[in-house]
Amino acid sequence: MSTIRWLTFRGGRTFDTSNIDPAHFVNGEAPICVARTWHRGHLLPGYVRLDSRVGYFAHRREVVKKSEYHLLFDGSLGWHEIEEGDPVPENAVKVGWTCREPLFLGKADVNGVELFGTVASSVCSIATDEGVLETRRFSILVRVRD
């Protein structure tokens, strides 16, 4: 099974977006990357907007913004579509946890932009500037067999 690696970023550290292939930019904006962060003893999955270097995470239906986070670097990973009522697949990647349960990473389209969020109890919660969006139709991060 492949190892998943994370890069740690702390407030003030710069990330040179000029090295990113322009094909990954959406409407001229730098890409959005998978991330996770510590918040009140919980490891929360979410995303970072590379142009602003701000991480967005959902916790108890609240938006948490952070300048310290871990960016997903690499791993043999893919996405599995989840429909309402589907169980979490066995090969889903546990990218975080609370004191009660493991947390997985999901992605969904939010107003034409693919965003990432926390999957718990078959619901994907995504932090946005307008609040937390919850959906039961999303893709979940899974390990791909080597």
* Residue that wins the pLDDT comparison between 105 and 146: 105
DSSP string, 18-78: GGS-GGG-BTTBPPEEEEEEEETTEEEEEEEETTTTEEEEEETTEEEEES-EEEEEE-SEE
For residues 58-79, give the mean pLDDT: 91
pTM of this prediction exceeds 0.95: no
Q: Is residue 94 within 8 Å of 142, Cβ to Cβ?
A: no
